[in-house]
């Protein structure tokens, strides 16, 4: 145990007055058995944020992400790319970009497959260097994916978001590019096809209802909260299948110590390869299209977004496009609103301004069923009407 260890109940009351950040981080690294030194360069005194990017076969997309980080409105950050066994030109692309980067760009390798394992290796390496710097421990660890494009104010929003000791994490959203949305609208007549999801999440967050969820493409933690919550963990279900919620699960753990998770207020653009693959194949789980490998490798679709989009626009019926969109909306409402409602975290009174009584009843009925989304005409009719009403509320039309 760490030298000034305190109970969980005490942490919930006043963790930031009672705990030494240095002791928490030292204790965390000791428990992990962490003794590597993959980054030789020290953490610069002016650096306030480390961005950790896991990468597996990201040729053609990771350079866009690194270029977007080159355009940030403030420069007090570094980037750590964790290559997770790529067999393509990913490493070469990152190394070539180093001469153009206007921020420190580090590359480390994690041979054990799995996005959670890669994130963890990068985060732990930053914590080791933070201890060596022996300076300010209100330091931010940000995560994103190799196929994202962060907006220019992203780092600035992260720094500004941690303006209180009780804030342990920031949750951002991710949407599709303007070009993707325009192509889908031209092919299907559906506006804001993917971006209705982040817009709905941001709307719910502004109303202060529901449970804020963190995600791998766009989240940040304060270093002490990250260590106190036990860091990123690769978890598995009862069948031994890797779970994909490692970032959100960490956010839930740090909440137990009294930390708040707040909206970041910044949205990244994320490649829609996985969703387009699912739409084309009318399936729900493209992470494991042929099961999953014994070493935990996530078989995320690596196809070209433009090619997948063009194929989907030519070959997928509007009915399937609509059905997939209903499922996306349902999953947001299930995770952000109706799971918390069913567990008593929020009350019906808190969401009555967002939903009619009949809608609440239907959503609760769907939530209590044994399947994730009902595949029947009645459900589709309900979601078609609900989405029409929702888009009016969100002022998307």
Looking at domain 8-177+210-271, its CATH superfamily turns out to be: Spore Coat Polysaccharide Biosynthesis Protein SpsA; Chain A (3.90.550.10)
pLDDT per residue of the chain (397 residues) written in tens, 0 to 9: 333 343 434 444 445 556 788 999 999 999 998 888 899 999 999 999 999 999 998 998 999 999 999 999 999 999 999 999 898 999 999 999 999 999 999 999 998 888 899 999 999 999 999 999 987 888 999 999 999 999 999 999 999 999 999 999 999 999 999 999 999 999 999 999 999 999 999 988 888 877 889 999 999 999 999 999 999 998 777 766 667 789 999 999 999 999 999 999 999 999 999 899 889 988 766 554 444 454 445 455 567 899 999 999 999 999 999 989 988 988 888 888 888 888 888 888 888 777 777 778 777 776 655 445 555 566 677 777 777 777 777 764 3
- Map out the domains of the chain as residue ranges: 8-177+210-271, 277-394
* pTM assigned to the model: 0.89
SS3 for the chain, per residue? CCCCCCCHHHHHHHHHHHCCHHHHHHHHHHHHCCCCCCCCCCCCCCCCEEEEEEECCCCCCHHHHHHHHHCCCCCCEEEEEEECCCCCCHHHHHHHHCCCCCCCEEEEECCCCCHHHHHHHHHHHHHHHHHHHCCCCCCEEEECCCCEECCCCHHHHHHHHCCCCCEEEEEEEEECCHHHHHHHHHHHCCCCCCCHHHHHHHHHHHHCCCCCCCCCCCEEEEHHHHHHCCCCCCCECCCCCECCCHHHHHHHHHHCCCCEEEEEEEEEEECCHHHHHHHHHCCCCCCCECECCCCCCCCCCCCCHHHHHHHHHHHCCHHHHHHHHHHHHHHHHHHHHHHHHHCCCCCHHHHCCCCCHHHHHHHHHHHCCCCCCCCCHHHHHHHHHHHHHHHHHHCCC
């Amino acid at each position: 145990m760490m030298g000034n260890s305190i109970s969980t109940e005490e942490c919930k009351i006043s963790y930031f007055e009672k705990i030494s950040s240095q002791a928490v981080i030292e204790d965390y690294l000791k428990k992990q058995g962490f003794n590597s030194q993959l980054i030789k360069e020290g953490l610069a005194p002016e650096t306030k944020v480390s961005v950790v990017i896991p990468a597996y076969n990201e040729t053609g997309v990771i350079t866009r992400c690194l270029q977007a980080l080159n355009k940030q409105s403030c420069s007090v950050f570094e980037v750590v790319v964790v290559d997770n066994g790529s067999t393509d030109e990913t490493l070469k692309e990152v190394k070539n970009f180093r001469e153009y980067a206007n921020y420190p760009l580090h590359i480390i390798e994690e041979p054990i497959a799995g996005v959670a394992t890669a994130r963890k290796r990068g985060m732990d390496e930053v914590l080791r260097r933070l201890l060596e710097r022996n300076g300010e421990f209100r330091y931010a660890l940000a995560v994103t994916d190799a196929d994202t494009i962060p907006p220019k104010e992203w780092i600035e929003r992260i720094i500004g978001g941690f303006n209180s000791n009780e804030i342990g994490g920031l949750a951002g959203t991710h949407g599709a590019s303007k070009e993707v949305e325009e192509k889908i609208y031209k092919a299907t007549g559906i506006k804001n096809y993917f971006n209705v999801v982040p817009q709905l999440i941001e709307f719910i967050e502004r109303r202060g209802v529901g449970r804020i969820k963190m995600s791998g493409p766009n989240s940040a933690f304060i270093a002490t909260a990250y260590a106190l919550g036990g860091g990123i963990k690769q978890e598995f279900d009862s069948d031994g299948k890797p779970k994909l919620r490692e970032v959100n699960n960490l956010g839930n753990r740090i909440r137990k110590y009294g930390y708040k998770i707040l909206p970041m207020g910044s949205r990244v653009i994320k490649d829609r390869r996985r969703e387009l693959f699912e739409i084309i194949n009318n399936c729900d789980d493209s992470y494991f299209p042929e099961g999953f490998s014994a070493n935990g490798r996530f078989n995320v679709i690596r196809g070209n977004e433009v090619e997948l989009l063009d194929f989907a626009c030519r070959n997928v019926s509007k009915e399937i496009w609509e059905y997939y969109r209903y499922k996306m909306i349902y999953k947001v409402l299930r995770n952000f609103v109706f799971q918390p409602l069913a567990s008593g975290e929020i009350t019906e009174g808190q969401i009555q301004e967002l939903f009619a009584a009949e809608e609440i009843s239907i959503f609760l009925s769907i939530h209590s069923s044994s399947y994730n989304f009902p595949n029947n005409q009645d459900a589709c009719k309900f979601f078609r009407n609900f989405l029409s009403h929702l888009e009016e509320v969100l002022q998307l039309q």
